[in-house]
Structures are given as C-alpha cells and as structure tokens.
C-alpha cells in the first residue's frame, strides 16, 4: 500500500524553522533563501490543511497544532537518523552529544572519558556544558547529567543517580598558614568558600555538627564547584565539594579532608535521555556506565 506522506523537503524545512523560530535562521542552516523556506512552509500547510505558524508581536511562533506536529516530526527525524546509523557498514562510530553541568564536565568527565570510551568503543562522544533545562523537542542532545533538588519528579526522560554528598576540603598550605584544623569550630575563623546560589551550605554543616558560629562575614562565593576547588587549591579558604568530584585529589594528597566530615544536601544527580531514544543500544550502554560510577 502506498504511503500518504507530505513532501519530505517541506518537512525538513518545517523542522528547522520550528527549532529556531526563525525563517532567516532556517534559510541559513539549509543554505536556501528565506523565500524558499516560506514557500515550503506554505506547501506543507496546504497539504495538512492547517496553519503551522503565527506572528505574535513580530515573533514567529508555532500554533498549537504546529507545536504538536513539530514534536512528532522531530522524533521521527531522530529515529530515521538513528536507524540509518545502525546500518552503517563503514565502521563509523555513532556520534553522541552529552550535555553536562560545568563542574561535571570539568572535573568528572575528564576522569572517566577513557573508561567510557573503552566501555562503549563505537561511541564518538561530543561533550558540551550547560546548566539550563533541556527542551528535548528542540535540542540535539542525546544524554545529559544534571543536579536537581532531590524531590525532582522522575519522568520518562529522567532517572535518579545519587544524592549529593559534600565533603570538607582544604589544602596543606592552608594548615601551615592558619593552623591545623582539629575541630569543626576551627572553621569559624577561616574563609568559607561557597556557591553563590547556595550560600546556606555552611550553615547546614554547622547546624549538623551543632556549632554556633556566624558565617556570613566569612563567606566568599563562586558560581560552580570546580571554581570552589580551584579557590581551595589557591589557598583562598576551605570549601564544600561533592565527594566524587574531589576524592581522587584527596587520595593523591593534593587536597585534604581535615576532619573527615561530610553533609548530605537536598540535591541529587540525574541522568536524562529523550523519550524517543530510550531504546538506543549505545545510549543505554552509556547510561549504564554513568550509573555505575555514581552508585
């Protein structure tokens, strides 16, 4: 039976236009004119007998029907691409884009990249870094790892990995300059390095160990954990960093956990994959490897 399909060229133009919400960008990406893009959109709208785009305050926006159609088309193109790669007879590796938060990208992936490659030899990995939520209907990301509040609802795209545990870190020079840290109360006089959007971490630590000490005047803030680690290495102060990001440096003697203390936060790490890629063998292997590291 002959399939009833809309023009594939029009579908490709529609996907690119919807992804960027721009006729100009779609034309640039597809190496055609804006007029050609507009023509293909009109052809598709005529075929479907629906309006796919509206102009709101000068901005190109998908209609409700267009949004639903785009989500289906995006997944269909992704599946076509994956199916074609599976039939690759030239031995080319499958390209996978992994999106990690900056600290994970800087401190975690560099530790495990070679092991991941050995575990998934057919994987050609592209690593990018961001902290923003991923719109799976518009993104080309295949797999992501993010840190969310622990109560983050598990969805079909998201799987819990591990709760965040922070450990106290300092460097050996800090002890020489300011005296050895023997008690948690000794931290009250040190410069405390924290995340600028989670400055309550030190208060939580002191509350856990029942230390009554003002901390606000002693805190210096950085945006990411990898910045906190660098600040500790430079002797700026002491920090609280996820254990799996710095344990190897403690084992090597480059950093210290002077009191061997830790604190569980209300955050956790999650691995995400788009729903239409949940059956990808190579991505499932990559996710399995990631889970094995965190668990």
* pLDDT confidence tier of residue 44, bands split at 50, 70 and 90: very high
* pLDDT confidence tier of residue 89, bands split at 50, 70 and 90: very low
Task: Give the best-scoring range by mean pLDDT among 169-178, 183-192, 274-283.
Answer: 183-192
- Among 87-91, 155-159, 211-215, 250-254, which stretch is predicted with the lowest mean pLDDT? 87-91
pTM for this entry: 0.68
**Structural contact between residues 168 and 261, judged by C-beta atoms closer than 8 angstroms:** yes
**Structural contact between residues 232 and 170, judged by C-beta atoms closer than 8 angstroms:** yes
- Among 9-18, 30-39, 114-123, which stretch is predicted with the lowest mean pLDDT? 114-123
CA dist., res. 6 & res. 12, Å (int): 11
What integer pLDDT is reported at residue 82 of this predicted model? Answer: 66
The rounded Cα 148 to chain-centroid distance in angstroms is 10
Which parts of the chain are beta strand (E)?
A: 53-56, 59-62, 94-100, 123-129, 143-149, 158-169, 192-195, 219-222, 238-242, 262-272
Average pLDDT, the chain: 83
What domains does the chain contain, in order, with CATH numbers?
8-86 (1.10.10.10), 94-154+269-294 (3.40.190.10), 164-267 (3.40.190.10)
- Among 144-148, 197-201, 224-228, 266-270, which stretch is predicted with the lowest mean pLDDT? 197-201
* Rounded percentage of the chain residues whose pLDDT exceeds 90: 26
What integer pLDDT is reported at residue 145 of this predicted model? Answer: 92
What integer pLDDT is reported at residue 285 of this predicted model? Answer: 81
């Amino acid at each position: 039976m002959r399939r009833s399909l809309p023009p594939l060229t029009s579908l490709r133009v529609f996907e690119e236009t919807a992804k960027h919400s721009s006729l100009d960008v779609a034309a640039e990406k597809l190496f055609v004119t804006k007029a050609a893009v507009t023509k293909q959109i009109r052809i598709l709208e005529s075929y479907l007998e629906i309006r796919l785009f509206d102009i709101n305050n000068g901005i190109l926006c998908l209609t409700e029907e267009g949004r639903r159609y785009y989500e289906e088309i995006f997944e269909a193109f992704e599946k076509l691409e994956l199916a074609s790669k599976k039939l690759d007879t030239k031995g080319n590796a499958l390209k996978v884009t992994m999106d990690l938060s900056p600290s994970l990208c800087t401190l975690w992936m560099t530790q495990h990249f070679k092991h991941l490659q050995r575990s998934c030899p057919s994987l050609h990995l592209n690593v990018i870094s961001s902290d923003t939520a991923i719109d799976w209907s518009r993104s080309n990301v295949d797999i992501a790892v993010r840190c969310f509040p622990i109560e983050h609802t598990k969805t079909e795209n998201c799987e819990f990995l591990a709760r965040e545990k922070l450990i106290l870190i300092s460097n050996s020079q800090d002890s020489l300059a300011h005296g050895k840290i023997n008690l948690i109360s000794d931290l009250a006089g040190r410069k405390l390095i924290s995340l600028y959007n989670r400055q309550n971490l030190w208060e939580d630590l002191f509350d856990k160990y029942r230390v009554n000490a003002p901390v606000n005047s002693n805190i210096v803030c950085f945006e990411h954990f990898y910045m906190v680690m660098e600040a500790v290495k430079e002797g700026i102060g002491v920090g609280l960093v996820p254990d799996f990001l710095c344990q190897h440096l403690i084992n090597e003697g480059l950093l210290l956990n002077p009191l061997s203390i830790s604190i569980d936060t209300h955050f956790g790490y999650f691995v995400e994959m788009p729903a239409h890629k949940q059956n990808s063998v190579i991505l499932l292997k990559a996710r399995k490897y990631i889970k094995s590291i965190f668990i």
